[in-house]
């Protein structure tokens, strides 16, 4: 037995060295004199520190830091400092080595980055939920060094790639955080390949059935697709080379997540998603000829295939805020289907694949300082002390996802804003004072209201008035995080003034009623009037919503109101409910039998039915709500309120029925509705709650709310409905 273990250890040793050599090969392009020695030193330290540690899969722990360093070098294109930091990213946290040891061996910069990584790994501890306040702290490390975030992304990517051995509840939590934060962060930093992979891996765990279904469908048609791409590309390749351009032309499959998004967005089945791949033309051009060569290639493609005039995207003349440059067009292929073609140079492609990391490489030839601007924006948001952490997180996410538009000032300066930005956003972008006093704008010399949505290329002049102040409804008008946070802090200031006024009035009123003005009584009053805080009480008094007679009514009700801090009840109820569940035989909520002990309801946003993968979410006032793991709100709930999530599964119960919705589309035919309802009511003995039907020029589109037992029952019903003559599609929909 012992010899077998020795052989295993020997084999592992060889494997570790093999992986280390692969890492050196990956970092070859960035290595300078003495770098190899530094990397070896870091590798030796990591190997020694982690020698007795193993991952959940049973593999030696050192595989993980090597893999993270490999991703940083190969897929993000980072240099030696980052490779050293990636190799050592867990040692301070998991072993006896201190930051002082690191600084002594590798210098201040490396120690600082590892310090940042250690701080944020505490924030992203797999056992705690990713709370907004922690996320904010983690972003503050951006201010020091963006490599902290890039290495953290590499770390998360490797964890997502190797998550099969984790327990299911951890997989769900980590996948939710990934889709909610890490994927948009990768997108904003221009790391498209990593963003797509993170989205696909999250979907693999959050919605495994759909993921497997699309992957299987893609696999089935692989050979057919390859043949189509070959035929499509051949003539382009030929003419490109005839014209003296050096180019690589190939087809690239779209990610599973983006195909699923398209199916949801357009409400179409897989078979109707045509752009399952994109054609890429990567040109080898000198920097000064890039633009001309891209347009030359564009004209070759559009001479061969007819383009869709609405689908041209020119990010070569105006790159996106995250540095992305490319020409995109959609053309009609030889088999009557639309094909997306992306044209860019090798430099642009490297920036598209590796984001800002590639910018540093091309710094001399490109004066784009978009990353610095972006970090500056993030810093502005972080340094605003008023911002509520959760609002901040949502605002930040919104800015991560957005595409940009370019707006001109009256003097012709260019300002970049997210898509959907309004004149009011533009005003705040110029200056807080201009935003706060904005009453309207002139867009291309025409007068428009502050809510006007700006278009790419608009020239905007802001009109202000000293009498104007920010209003509550402005928050619905603006989309940028900067404008939102400035409006919120201004409204808070305004509210504070009103509250101060109300405080004085209330003090006088209580005096006249001989009630002592103290914290205890103020909290009792707030509780009586169902107000969340004493500040709201003061505001209501100032605005005349609470008068002397209302306070007298409070006195007359002899009800004893307990004084309680606003946060406590929620925490008590969360802990209480969790303990109740744990009081059973396991810590899993069994849906169908625990109703006597624990109050739960099925969430209306996703209408779960038995057979669906589900979790329980403890609400503040409605007990536990059961959601599907692929519910539109699931990722946000798990990422922000992980401590309120409880594991749940369906109990094999007596036949209960659950409400769900089906959308049926088809060709309108005599008796079609009759045939559909016969299948539902007679063959399947299913009760219908409602049916709405819309027929338009021979097309039938119906929504039916029905009661079913579980997912198997529902799938059988869908299969039989698809057999009805004239029905072309049946899909389940969320409420």
Give the DSSP letter string of 678-713. Answer: HIIIIIS-PPEEEEEEEEETTEEEEEEEEEESSHHH
pLDDT above 60 for 367: no
Q: How far apart are CA 377 and CA 402, in angstroms?
A: 14
- Strand order in 658-667's β-sheet? 688-696, 699-708, 658-667, 727-733
Least confident of 107-121, 546-560, 637-651, 704-718: 546-560
Q: What pLDDT shows up at residue 144?
A: 61
The catalytically annotated residue of 15, 35, 94, 103 is 94
pLDDT tops 80 at residue 241: yes
Q: Is 94 a catalytic residue?
A: yes
Same domain? For 151 and 226 the reply is no
CA distance 60 to 345: 41
Tell whether 199 and 168 lie within a shared domain.
yes
Nearest CA to 170 among 468, 615, 516?
Answer: 615
Under 8 Å between Cβ of 65 and 44: no
pLDDT given for residue 41 in this prediction: 92
- pLDDT on residue 169: 86
Give the model's pLDDT for residue 1.
Answer: 44
Per-residue model confidence (pLDDT) at position 298: 95
- pLDDT above 90 for 84: yes
Nearest to 192 by CA among 367, 355, 74, 371: 355
Res. 375: pLDDT tops 70: no
Domain edge (last residue) among 650, 682, 711: 650
Whether residues 202 and 224 share a domain: the answer is no
Whether residue 595 is found in the same domain as residue 728 = no
Q: Are strands 688-696 and 438-443 parallel, antiparallel or unpaired?
A: unpaired
Name the catalytic one among 35, 59, 93, 669. Answer: 93
Asked if residue 664 has pLDDT above 70, the reply is yes
What mean pLDDT comes out for the span 399-428? 83
Q: For the ranges 65-74, 156-165, 368-377, which has the lowest average pLDDT?
A: 368-377
Reported as a single tens digit per residue, the pLDDT across 470-487 is 998 999 999 998 899 899
Which whole number is the average pLDDT over 117-139? Answer: 58
Picking from 620, 650, 680, the residue at the C-terminal end of a domain is 650
pLDDT at 364 over 50: no
Q: pLDDT tens across 444-461, in order? A: 888 999 999 998 878 899
The verdict on 185 and 40 lying in the same domain is yes
The number of domains in the chain is: 4
CATH of the domain at 261: 3.30.460.10
Q: Can you list the alpha helix ranges (DSSP code H) found in 583-681?
A: 634-640, 672-678
Is 65's pLDDT higher than 90?
A: yes
Residue 593 DSSP one-character state: T
| pLDDT number for residue 186 | 84
Q: Give the DSSP per-residue string, 490-553.
A: HHHHHHHHHHHHHHHHHHHHHHHTT---SHHHHHHHHHHTT-SSHHHHHHHHHTTSS-HHHHHH
Which range is least confidently modeled, 181-185, 207-211, 300-304, 390-394?
390-394
Residue 159: pLDDT band by 50, 70, 90 thresholds?
A: very high
Q: Which of 340, 361, 382 is the last residue of a domain?
A: 361
Q: Tell me, what's the pLDDT at 291? A: 94
329 and 243, same domain (yes or no): yes
Q: At 684, which CATH number?
A: 3.30.70.260
Q: What is the pLDDT of residue 357?
A: 60
Same domain, 226 and 353: yes
Domain span at 643: 568-650
Q: How far is CA 142 from CA 277, 374, 490, in A?
A: 35, 10, 27
Q: What is the pLDDT of residue 392?
A: 61
Residues 515-544 have a mean pLDDT of 82
Q: Report which of residues 115 and 597 the model is more confident about.
A: 115
Q: Does 93 participate in catalysis according to the annotation?
A: yes
pLDDT at site 387: 54
Query: Is residue 230 domain-shared with residue 146, that is, in the same domain?
Result: no
**All residues at 6 or more sequence positions from 241 whose CB lies less than 8 Å from its CB, including other chains:** 247
pTM over 0.85: no
């Amino acid at each position: 037995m012992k010899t077998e273990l020795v052989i295993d250890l020997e084999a592992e040793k060889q494997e570790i060295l093999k992986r280390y050599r692969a890492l050196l090969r990956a970092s070859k392009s960035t290595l300078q004199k003495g770098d190899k020695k530094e990397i070896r030193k870091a590798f030796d330290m990591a190997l020694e520190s982690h020698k007795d540690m193993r991952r959940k899969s049973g593999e030696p722990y050192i595989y993980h830091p090597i893999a993270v360093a490999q991703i940083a070098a190969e897929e993000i294109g980072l240099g030696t400092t980052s490779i050293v930091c990636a190799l050592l990213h867990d040692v301070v946290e998991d072993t006896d080595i201190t930051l002082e040891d690191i600084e002594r061996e590798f210098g201040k910069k490396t120690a600082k980055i590892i310090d940042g990584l250690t701080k944020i790994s505490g924030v992203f501890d797999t056992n705690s939920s990713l709370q907004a306040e922690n996320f904010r702290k983690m972003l503050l490390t951006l201010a020091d060094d963006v490599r902290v975030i890039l290495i953290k992304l590499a770390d998360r990517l490797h964890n997502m790639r190797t998550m099969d051995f984790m327990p299911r509840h951890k997989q769900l939590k980590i996948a939710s955080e990934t889709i909610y934060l890490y994927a948009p962060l990768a997108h904003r930093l221009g790391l498209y390949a990593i963003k797509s992979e993170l989205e696909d891996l999250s979907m693999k765990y959050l919605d495994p059935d759909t993921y497997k279904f699309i992957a299987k469908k893609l696999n089935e048609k692989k050979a057919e697709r390859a043949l189509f791409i070959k035929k499509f590309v051949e003539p382009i390749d030929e003419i490109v080379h005839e014209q003296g351009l050096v180019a690589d032309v190939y087809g690239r499959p779209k990610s599973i997540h983006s195909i699923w998004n398209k199916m949801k967005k357009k409400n179409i089945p897989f078979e109707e998603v045509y752009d399952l791949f994109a054609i890429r033309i990567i040109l080898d051009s000198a920097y000064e000829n890039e633009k001309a060569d891209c347009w030359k290639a564009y004209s070759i493609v559009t001479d061969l295939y007819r383009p869709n005039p609405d689908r041209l995207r020119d990010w070569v003349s105006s790159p996106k805020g995250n540095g992305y440059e490319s020409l995109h067009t959609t053309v009609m292929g030889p088999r009557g289907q639309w094909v997306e073609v992306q044209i860019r140079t090798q430099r642009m492609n490297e920036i598209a694949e590796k984001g800002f990391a590639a910018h540093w490489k091309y710094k001399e030839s490109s004066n784009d300082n978009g990353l610095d601007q972006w970090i500056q924006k993030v810093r502005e948001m972080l340094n605003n002390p008023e911002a509520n952490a959760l609002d901040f997180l949502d605002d930040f996410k919104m800015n991560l996802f957005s595409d940009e538009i370019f707006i001109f000032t009256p003097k012709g300066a260019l300002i970049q804003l997210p898509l959907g930005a309004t004149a009011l956003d533009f005003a705040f972008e110029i200056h807080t004072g201009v935003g706060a006093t904005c009453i309207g704008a002139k867009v291309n010399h025409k007068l428009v209201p502050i809510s006007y949505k700006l278009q790419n290329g608009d020239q905007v002049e802001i009109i202000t008035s000293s009498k104007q102040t920010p209003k509550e409804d402005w928050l619905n008008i603006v989309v940028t995080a900067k404008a939102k946070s400035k409006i919120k802090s201004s409204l808070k200031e305004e509210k504070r003034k009103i509250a101060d006024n109300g405080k004085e009035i209330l003090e006088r009123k209580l005096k006249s009623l001989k009630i002592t003005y103290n914290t205890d009584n103020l909290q009792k009053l707030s509780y009586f009037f169902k107000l969340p805080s004493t500040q709201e009480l003061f505001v209501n008094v100032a605005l005349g919503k609470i008068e002397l007679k209302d306070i007298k009514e409070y006195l007359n009700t002899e009800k004893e109101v307990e004084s309680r801090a606003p946060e406590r009840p929620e925490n008590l109820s969360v802990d209480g409910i969790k303990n109740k569940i744990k009081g059973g035989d396991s810590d899993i909520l069994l849906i169908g039998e625990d109703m006597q002990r624990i109050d739960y309801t099925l969430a209306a946003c996703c209408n779960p039915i038995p057979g669906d993968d589900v979790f329980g979410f403890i609400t503040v006032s409605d007990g536990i709500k059961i959601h599907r793991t692929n519910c539109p709100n699931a990722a946000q709930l798990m990422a922000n309120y992980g401590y309120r999530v409880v594991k749940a599964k369906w109990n094999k119960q007596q036949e209960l029925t659950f409400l769900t919705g089906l959308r049926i589309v088809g060709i309108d035919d005599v008796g079609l509705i009759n045939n559909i309802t016969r299948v539902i009511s007679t063959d399947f003995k299913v009760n219908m709650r409602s049916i709405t039907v819309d027929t338009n020029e021979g097309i039938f589109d119906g929504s039916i709310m029905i009661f079913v037992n579980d997912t198997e029952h529902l799938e059988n019903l869908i299969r039989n409905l698809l057999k009805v003559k004239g029905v072309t599609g049946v899909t389940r929909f969320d409420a």
